[in-house]
Structure 1
Amino acid sequence: MFNLNDSMRYWLYSFPTDMRKGFYTLSGLVTDQMGQDVRSGDVFIFLNRHCTSLKALHMEHGGFVIYYLKLEKGNFSLPSFDENGKVHPFSWQKLMLMVQGIETEKCKYKKRWKGS
Structure 2
Amino acid sequence: MIFPDQAVRIVIATKPVDFRKGHDGLAAMAHAELGFAPKAGAMVVFRSKRGDRLSFHIPTA
TM-score in terms of structure 1 length? 0.44
Looking at both structures, which has the greater relative contact order when contacts are Cα pairs under 8 Å and sequence separation is at least 6? 2
- Whole-Å separation in 1 of the counterparts to 2:50 and 2:57: 19
The aligned length equals: 60
Alignment of 1:78-89 (within 5 A): none
Residue 17 of structure 2 corresponds to residue 9 of structure 1: no
**Rg (Cα) greater in structure:** 1
- 2:21 counterpart SS class: coil
2:54 partner SS: strand
Deviation at 1:40, TM superposition (A): 1.3
Deviation of the 1:18 alpha carbon: 0.8
Distance across 1 between alignment mates of 2:19 and 2:27: 13
In 2 relative to 1, CA 49–57 (structure 1 residues): closer, same or farther, beyond 3 Å? Answer: same
Q: Which amino acid aligns with 2:51?
A: C
Letter of the aligned partner of 1:44 in structure 2? Answer: V
Gaps of 5+ in 2: none
Percent identity reads 18
The TM-score with structure 2 as length reference comes to 0.76
8 Å CA contact 1:30, 1:38 repeated in 2: no
1:56 aligns with 2:56: yes
How big is the alpha-carbon RMSD for the aligned residues of Structure 1 and Structure 2?
A: 2.4
Shift of 1:37: 1.4
Instruction: Show CA shifts across 1:9-41 (max 9, x none).
Output: 011111111112222111110111101113212
Amino acid at match of 1:17: V
Report the CA distance shift for 1:48/1:6 in structure 2 as closer, same or farther (over 3 A): farther
8 Å Cα contact 1:19-1:53 kept in structure 2: no
